[in-house]
Amino acid sequence: MYKDNTNTLDQLQVADAAQAIMDLGGLSLYEFLQVFWSEVSQDKLVLNWHMQLLCDELEHMAELVAKGIKKEHDLIVNIPPGTTKTVISLIMFPAWCWTKWYWMQFITVSYSATIALKSAVKCRDLVKSERFQMMYPEISIKMDEDSKSDFRVVKRVRVHAGYAPRIKHGGGRFTTSVGGSVTGMHGHIILVDDPLNPQEAASEVELASANKWMTETIPTRKTDKKVTPMILIMQRLHQDDPTGHMLNKKDNIKHICLPGEIQDFKDMVKPPEMIKYYKDGLLDTERLDWDTLKEMKADLGQYGYSGQVGQKPTPPGGGMFKVDRFIMLEALPSEVNFVETIRYWDKAGTDEKEIKKGKKAAYTVGVKMIRLRNGNFIVVDVVRGQWSAEVREAMILNTARADGSNVKIFHEQEPGSGGKDSAKATTRMLAGFSASRDLPTGDKTRRADPYSVQVNEGNVMLLKGEWNYEYIEEHRFFPFSTYKDQVDASSGAFTKLIESQRVQVL
């Protein structure tokens, strides 16, 4: 139903707005977005074809609801961050609907209460704005039902000249977060925008909780299950995120998928005919140009970039690290080029009794990495061995003494009470050194992702040493390598160096 008709209303002035509405027979959602953009954003409005597509889809679904017609489908839209999706769907769309159907009730959802309330407040402020009130003076927010999370719309209807208008109580908006209470609330339209926090998408607990809430709780809040649609708009974060979960469970879904670029993700475009609107291989040449996407890839890593930009949330396969991009150094540069040095330990231990029975101990690895002033990184040294817990602790302490007090030490804490006790003991043993335990989240592949981007860009150097061969080979076959400890320790050191850099910038 989308037609490329990205005309603008830049020529529409406030003073002419009311007459323009009469002449146009009412604003479309896409036109409404242009007229009221300045009420919700100080940034210049930059239009793109995907914005009209989203507006057209939302408008069509609202019209069916307004007529009480059985819904054609629920809607899932996968699109990268930074594409104005929240402004269109959670701010403009409800306000536009109330100008036509004041009785319409919305339930809106985001992954956190703070994020959800921001869009709700902007929507409420839009209705209260001078421009909106000038153009739609009959629509306002009910004074005694005017909270951020739950407000109600009223419509003033003039019955007789000289008499006060009659007040008709209308719909409104209830806002919550995933997992939040919606008891007693019902919506004619349910809008879900980014139900998962990108930082927690790898958590099986968070995924299961979000999926259960989306499929068992929210559907019960529909005013009319035959008519009320659920609209899910999000970036892909995991194979079993709410998009994947719903597509696997339900048939009656229209799926629109718009990756940020089609150089690598052409197969993800849905419907396929949308490909013809891409320019220079890009969804949006202004917001998401190639330089911007390059920065996003560096920030998000390959896994994050593939999901959030490419809408293809699958872990990278073999060849995650392009090991030929490692730069070999014969000697270290001058220390004046050093910003910070970290030794990160991926601890492993096997009980002495198990070793005596012939069982091999798992590898413990300590990677020493330097961040340089030019933004590059050097892997200086790797200590690696299959040791019992007692020998392992002695090796960690001896290495700390050899490294010196200027090297910060982090050691990974394994899950569970045993891992916590072991981590505390290691920190206690390293008294006198800058030592901290670290409890990483997500699997090893996700954790290695940002580090792999820097390796593949040629920003990581290796100081020549006996450890080089095994180190490179493990990276070559990761995540399908027999051992992953050196990669895990390296990504841990890299993460801590980046975290420190961000703190210094702030």
pLDDT tens figures, 15-44: 465 555 545 568 999 999 999 999 999 999
Q: What is the CATH number of domain 323-505?
A: 3.30.420.280
The strand pairing partners of 377, in sequence order, are: 371, 460
396 CB burial (10 A radius; 0-12, 13-18, 19+):
buried
Report whether pLDDT(100) > 70: yes
The pLDDT of residue 342: 97
Tokens of 332: 């270290």
Q: CA of 357: how far to CAs of 125, 352, 360, 361, in Å?
A: 71, 9, 9, 11
* pLDDT tens digits, one per residue of 104-116: 999 999 999 999 9
Beta strands in 317-357 (DSSP E): 327-329, 338-346
**Element spanning 346, H or E:** strand 338-346
Cβ atoms < 10 Å from Cβ of 335: 9
Contact 122, 104 (CB under 8 A): no
C-alpha closest to that of 179 among 163, 200, 159, 202: 200
Judge whether 407 and 343 are in contact, CB under 8 Å.
yes
The rounded distance, in Å, linking the Cα atoms of 102 and 230 is 19
Q: Is the pLDDT of residue 5 over 80?
A: no
* Tokens encoding 23: 């002449």
Pair 193, 117: CB distance under 8 Å: no
Cα separation values, 126 from 174, 227, 318, 487, Å: 16, 27, 50, 50
Which residues of the chain are in CATH 3.40.50 domains? 14-257
Strands 139-146 and 150-157: antiparallel
Q: Which residues pair with 191 in a beta bridge?
A: 108, 231
Tokens representing 250? 């339900």
Percent of the chain with pLDDT over 90: 67
Q: How far apart are CA 408 and CA 402, in angstroms?
A: 13
pLDDT value of residue 506: 47
User: What pLDDT does 15 receive?
Assistant: 42
Q: What is the pLDDT of residues 437-449, one digit of tens each?
A: 999 887 888 889 9
pLDDT band at 258 (very low <50, low <70, confident <90, very high): very high
CA dihedral in degrees (171, 176, 180, 186; nearest 10)?
A: 20
Question: Tell me, what's the pLDDT at 121?
Answer: 95
**CB-CB contact of 64 with 302 (8 Å):** no
* pTM, full prediction: 0.72
Residue of 431, 434, 432, 447 whose CA lies nearest to 407: 434
Q: Boundaries of CATH 3.30.420.280 in the chain? A: 323-505
Give me the chain's average pLDDT, please.
Answer: 89
First to last CA, the chain: 47
Strand partners, 237: none
Q: What is the pLDDT of residues 133-181, one digit of tens each?
A: 999 999 999 999 888 899 999 999 877 676 777 888 999 999 999 988 8
Q: Give the Cα separation of 335 and 329 in Å (integer).
A: 15
Query: pLDDT digit string (tens) for 333-367?
Result: 999 999 999 999 999 865 555 555 555 567 999 99
CB within 8 A of 225, min separation 6: which ones? 219
Distance CA 75, CA 88 (A): 15
Identify whether the C-beta of residue 258 lies closer than 8 Å to the C-beta of residue 266: no
Size of the chain in residues: 506
Angle between helices 49-67 and 93-100 (to 10 degrees): 40
11 has a pLDDT exceeding 50: no
For residue 395, give the amino acid letter. M
DSSP 179: T
The whole-angstrom separation of Cα 386 and Cα 338 is: 31
Q: Which among 387, 390, 386, 428 has a CA at the least distance from the CA of 409?
A: 428
Q: How far is the C-alpha of 33 from the C-alpha of 212, rounded, in Å?
A: 34
Determine the average pLDDT of the residues in 308-332.
86
**Do β-strands 139-146 and 377-386 pair in parallel, antiparallel, or remain unpaired?**
unpaired
- Mean predicted confidence (pLDDT) in 237-255: 86
Fold of 14-257: Rossmann fold (3.40.50)
Element (DSSP H or E) covering residue 461: strand 460-463
